[in-house]
Structure 1
């Protein structure tokens, strides 16, 4: 494994600026996630590191070596794509061994067999090695695609939303498997996703990216508790943070135009709160309920104990408890 540095990298496609002055370091053995919506520049960053695109400016270093002008084959990276991209006529074993049999690698057949079987055990697909790729389920095919990258032991693994096409149960299972494998191997991973749950549960650091610019990077807790602006605050948290006019609550620090209220910032009661709201809808989720409220004509979503017995039409009181504050441009204001 190796440290990877992206230094002031910019990339445009015609008049579209995909990345602007991106600087990011992925430490040796670190799991970093880039979190952002479609079109934010996440995949472009991966393709630049892999050498599939060339930057307009800036440089890329792997293990201290400037690889900006190097061909993909000379960069020692492995790319896991969103789609499985397996060879359907080959077995699982042959798909995973394919990269090791490249003429430039010259890996012995005994070593190939040992490495493939070792990775197959990590991914719990050792009993599928003789199956054709077309005989696998979606989750198994994604494990093979990940395994094909893992057998190579590159400097860095680049992963482009590899779990997004799976159902929720499989995504949950593979999140745990992928994190376990990364820890076991000490692998360096740059993982891009639009799914906040993937980023928060797997990454040691999250970089929130929007419009080709890295807005903030830090641990999942740092990003969640101390977002630099309202956009970053809205990327993490379920339900999404409520952004409300500060004037509704009557107490806010100087310069604050907006209150950011997550579920833990709101206390709900039958009466005696700072402001009143009307329950519009209740979503029962088993151990908790989503309460959809109308607060002076503005929607608010928060969590409540199902035993509280709130129902549509109820009037409730809300109290703020250490919320976040933002100015008129969305930047954080100290409480």
Structure 2
């Protein structure tokens, strides 16, 4: 495996600025998730590392070696896309073996067979090796797509929203499997998603991108608890953080314009009165949708609460975050 370093990377497509002065280090053996909405620059960052696109300025290095002038096939990276990218006329076995048959790798036949069997067992698709790719379910096809990357044992895995086209249960199952594979193999992974649950559950580090700029990078818990801005705070957390006028509760520091409250950081029982608008029962917890002086607030409460729509509840901040007029955090 290898460390990946982007230094002051910028990229334009015509008049559109895709990346602006992005500096980022993906530590060797880490699982780094790039998080942000469509257009934030996540996929462009992957393409810079893979060599599918070339930076207008800045450098990309893999394993301490600058990649300028190296074609994608020379970079020892493997990419998994959102779509399955399988050869439909080939069996699962032949799809998995295909990358190893490259004239660049020149892998011996017995080594190909060993690696295919090993990866198929890891992904729990050994019983599907002789099936055509078209005979698989969506989850099985994505496993094969991931397996085509794993079988190569590259320096870096690049994954572009590989789970987004799957249903919720399959996404959950494959999240666990993928994290387990990364932990067991010590692979270096750079993973793109807009799903904050994937970021929180799989990442060792999260990079938050906003319109081509890297606004925060660190462990997911650090980004969650110590966001540098309202934007960064809003990328992680479900339900999303409540952003309210700083003066609603009193006690705000100078220059604070907004107060940010995670749903679990709202204490009940005393404080300012709010009206319950909706009660959302989720089994292990209940979400309360409140109206506080004409502002919408979401908090969590006991799963067996007796509160109903129209009730009044008193709330107060606990562990609040404060932000200035520009959205930057005030510590």
TM-score, normalised to structure 1's length? 0.98
- How far apart are the structure 2 equivalents of 1:68 and 1:323? 46
* CA contact 1:9–1:22 (8 Å) conserved in 2: yes
Partner of 2:208: 208
Alignment counterpart, residue 318 of structure 1, candidates 315, 318, 327: 315
* CA contact 2:82–2:163 (8 Å) conserved in 1: yes
* CA contact 1:80–1:149 (8 Å) conserved in 2: yes
- How far apart are the structure 2 equivalents of 1:306 and 1:183? 34
- How far apart are the structure 1 equivalents of 2:238 and 2:54? 37
* CA contact 1:224–1:233 (8 Å) conserved in 2: yes
Cα offsets for 1:262-288 (capped at 9, x unmatched): 12220123xxx2211111111111121
Alignment counterpart, residue 291 of structure 2, candidates 291, 294, 301: 294
Alignment counterpart, residue 275 of structure 1, candidates 272, 277, 286: 272
Partner of 1:222: 222
- How far apart are the structure 2 equivalents of 1:287 and 1:154? 41
| Structure 2: gaps of 5 or more residues | none
Partner of 1:306: 303
Partner of 2:235: 235
Partner of 1:111: 111
Poorly superposed stretches of 4+, deviation over 2 Å: none
After TM superposition, give the deviation of residue 310 of structure 1 in Å: 0.8
* CA contact 1:209–1:215 (8 Å) conserved in 2: yes
- How far apart are the structure 2 equivalents of 1:103 and 1:287? 54
* CA contact 1:54–1:69 (8 Å) conserved in 2: no
- How far apart are the structure 1 equivalents of 2:167 and 2:112? 32
Equivalences for residues 46-195 of structure 1 within 5 A: 46-195=46-195
Q: Secondary structure at the match of 1:180?
A: helix
- How far apart are the structure 1 equivalents of 2:184 and 2:64? 24
After TM superposition, give the deviation of residue 306 of structure 1 in Å: 2.8
Q: Secondary structure at the match of 1:274?
A: strand
After TM superposition, give the deviation of residue 316 of structure 1 in Å: 0.8
* CA contact 1:100–1:107 (8 Å) conserved in 2: yes
Corresponding pairs, count: 331
Greater Cα shift, 63-72 or 85-94: 63-72
After TM superposition, give the deviation of residue 289 of structure 1 in Å: 1.2
Q: Secondary structure at the match of 1:98?
A: helix
